Structure 1
């Protein structure tokens, strides 16, 4: 069961269990930024909007310049040049449309977001199709991380999760959300979820996303397993497509979380995932832990890349992010890159430098498992 620490929140709201959450609270603390320290660390001050992010109650150690284990975001901001709007579809538990940290970043299904249209709800027994309200917390938290990395991002919230629905129903809802995102031609899909069972229709849609050049950022999962091993395969991460980048999680000491899945072939990179602070419904903030959170950091950097170089394909974005990873001995053998997300290096990597490299791609057929009736626990943490 995942644990969170919130300010001004009831004990009942502390218990949440969804993919991407796992507790690992034996690891290091989270610090907050001090303006005087920011001045010492950065060569030039960030913009007012970026400084607002760093000083907000919704920013985590993963973006802080004084944290050596962060994603090196401030340097990325200084070198970044926005050229177009980027839409990230967040397939999750929905979003808080009135959250002060997120309300200006939302995109509606019909265009600009409004109180009656701020995404799509594909979950079982959905009441308002265009109002994917987050009654869980996970989707708002993940969206907040993406925004903390790229303040100008547009988020299309696509809700799939109903806590009272079966695993099969939640999988069916996921497939509907994926289909919608691909047909809408979003730039990036953040899917901080997954499960042990492959689905033919899900794979078909993800291949269509691959054809369209849509990057899918997927969580490696939290089963403490090596997903290179066939019996431990985790989907959609294990489909092995060239447009899927799979993310595991590390803490401030640069060690992979004990709860995280890993794989030198099946997992691409690591990002911050321990006690990550971000937005929660009701205008609140709180700490969550897991590969879900790590995935959101990668989606944020991918969105910056796409905004700066609109012609980048999904495969190129994946190549850049993996090739620019900062190598760490603690992550060697745990993921393909053997390293962690470095936003500044990714932003400054010339796409021509990696244009001749072969995209890391695995044969989906090698990971297929025969589905067992009644075994589907798709989209739920253990």
Structure 2
């Protein structure tokens, strides 16, 4: 019943498309009336996210077909299953109401389980029946719910099921509203409008219209032209680095501030009655303070020798174009990974996901300083799946690596927002706990010295650091990606073109797939997401494969291999949009 469990949960995949890309308006200095460039950028984001939504609905329909085809095959092998077993399957399935077999072309009913409309076969075939393959009816309303009939014609038989599809409107609209209220959708806090009919839709210049062929529906998606800025400082919080002989607890009491957290001689202090600049101005010249900075916020950056078999995971051939573009199949002929740990420093990871639970060996929560690394956002789980979902298990997706264990490090909260101090703690913990590769699908334009010190701490201990460049389509350096010790990864699409949202600049090292990427999500789900957040773990996975092939390599040598074997894109040689090009796993492993 695992397939049914995944299917039942996958209906909330629509939430992922809303969380797939974040766009911070303060990078663009908008006024109340955005300029033409802003409108073009907004329309492009709407277009991409509408595509993610349509693809997730297609992913759902594909899973329905896989379940129904499996039922049909099982019953063909053992006709006795048509009795109690089939009833159990239908009763347990939250969205399939009945299953019937007809003899074709006579349309004689052979057996029926569950409930189906009397005219199910007529709803399915308006004209001549299909000889073999899948057929969909037009959506219709039955007992207050939107439904459709789905049929598989095979060997003079047609196997028909009624599927409840009312979830589409319900989940799209409810979860879109939820995401918008959380400030994670589009530019600023723009209002979302998702409709499925011409009568409902309010079409304007930002509207995007997409067709869902299987359902014969049109998806209308738009957003208001409202732009607002987010505060990228934790209110009233300052990170201070004190002299070695100064006790942070005593110092905070003397300075009448609350000590939130400390590690060694670095501490985070808070006074909600003042802003960070006021506090820093007061302490300027204090001989006990070596360095201080606001506690900046950072966000997610939301798109084999051991075996002769290619992955048999159910979504690999149909949806994982990204791994094929990465040329990872050639790399797997060299290695599918090893026991070298890789840290996913993000919003945590879902430890119960069937495609991840066997890969996670340890975890850490930088906010609470404990092992509570459960992901309550979903971003980190999606990133982890791209890197290393359990592969060749006949279910879900394939990961870039098949074997490397995952250290799940939670440094972003339920809104996928963290701060420089928590991220720095997470990087140090991952380093101290054996990570040879750290993935950082997060960032902001603030050059935090506290974070840089943690980056250097990891780099000096030979850790490979991979980070996303950001999703603002700007040249502004994003940290930690722009630190010289880090390999910065931009995003490309399936045509090997730079994603319109991908940040660029001289600090960009390479690019990797980052649009419409299927991966794991909280609650055992599989969803599509887009962003440089999705590009980065492809490269982290490649780094893990390289080290699995030769663990004596230094981090700088791993960087050199990734850069030198990248396939050149854009202008000949290095350029600010593609760096050294798109990563090529097969060539990297050959070198």
Q: Which has the higher contact order (CA 8 A, sep 6+)?
A: 1
Q: What is the DSSP-based 3-state SS (H/G/I as helix, E as strand, rest coil) of the residue aligned with 1:149?
A: coil
**How does the TM-score come out when normalised to structure 1?**
0.72
Alignment-derived partner of residue 173 in structure 2: none
1:310 Cα offset (Å): 0.5
SS of the residue 1:271 aligns to: strand
Q: How does 1:24-173 map to 2 (within 5 A)?
A: 25=48, 47=307, 50-53=310-313, 55=315, 60-64=320-324, 70-80=325-335, 84-108=338-362, 119-123=363-367, 126=368, 129-147=370-388, 148-163=399-414, 170-173=419-422
Note the aligned Cα RMSD (angstroms). 3.2
1:48-103 CA-partner distances (Å, limit 9, x unpaired):
77513475599621113xxxxx1001111113375x41111111011111111111
The 3 A distance-change label for structure 1 pair 11 and 85 is closer
SS in 1 for 2:358: helix
- 8 Å contact kept, 2:306–2:335: no
- The answer on whether the counterparts of 1:54 and 1:63 sit within 8 Å (CA) in structure 2 is no
Spell out, residue by residue over 1:176-233, the C-alpha distance to the aligned partner (whole angstroms, 9 max, x if none). 101111222310000001111111121112112121110100101111112xxxxx22
Task: Report how far residue 24 of structure 1 moved.
Answer: 5.9
Instruction: Tell me the distance in 1 between the aligned counterparts of 2:481 and 2:355.
Output: 29
Q: Which residue of 1 aligns with 2:32?
A: none
Q: 1:14 to 1:252 in 2, by over 3 A?
A: closer
Q: Which has the higher strand share?
A: 2
| CA deviations over 1:115-136 (Å, ceiling 9, x no partner) | xxxx11123xx4x921211111
Alignment of 1:348-363 (within 5 A): 348-349=590-591
Change (3 A) 1:222 1:55: closer
- CA drift of 1:27 comes to 7.7
Q: Which residue of 2 aligns with 1:291?
A: 532
- Asked if structure 2 preserves the Cα contact closer than 8 Å seen for 1:262 and 1:335, the reply is yes
Q: Deviations over 1:3-31 (max 9, x none)?
A: xxx94227566532676997661889979
Query: Distance between the aligned counterparts of 2:463 and 2:443, measured in 1?
Result: 18
Q: Structure 1: where are the runs of 5+ without partners?
A: 1-5, 34-43, 65-69, 109-118, 227-231, 350-382
Answer with 1 or 2: which has the greater Rg: 2
Residue 518 of structure 2 is aligned to residue 277 of structure 1 = yes
Q: What do residues 286-324 of structure 1 show as CA deviations (whole Å, max 9, x unaligned)?
A: 011011100000000100001110001100000000100
Matched, 1:192 2:441: yes
Partner of 1:208: 457
Q: Number of matched residues?
A: 305
Q: What's the secondary structure of 2:12's corresponding residue?
A: coil
Asked if the contact 1:194–1:237 (Cα under 8 Å) also holds between the matched residues in 2, the reply is yes
Pairwise CA distance, 1:334: 3.3
Q: Are the aligned partners of 1:58 and 1:279 in contact in 2 as well (CA < 8 Å)? A: no
Shift of 1:329: 3.1
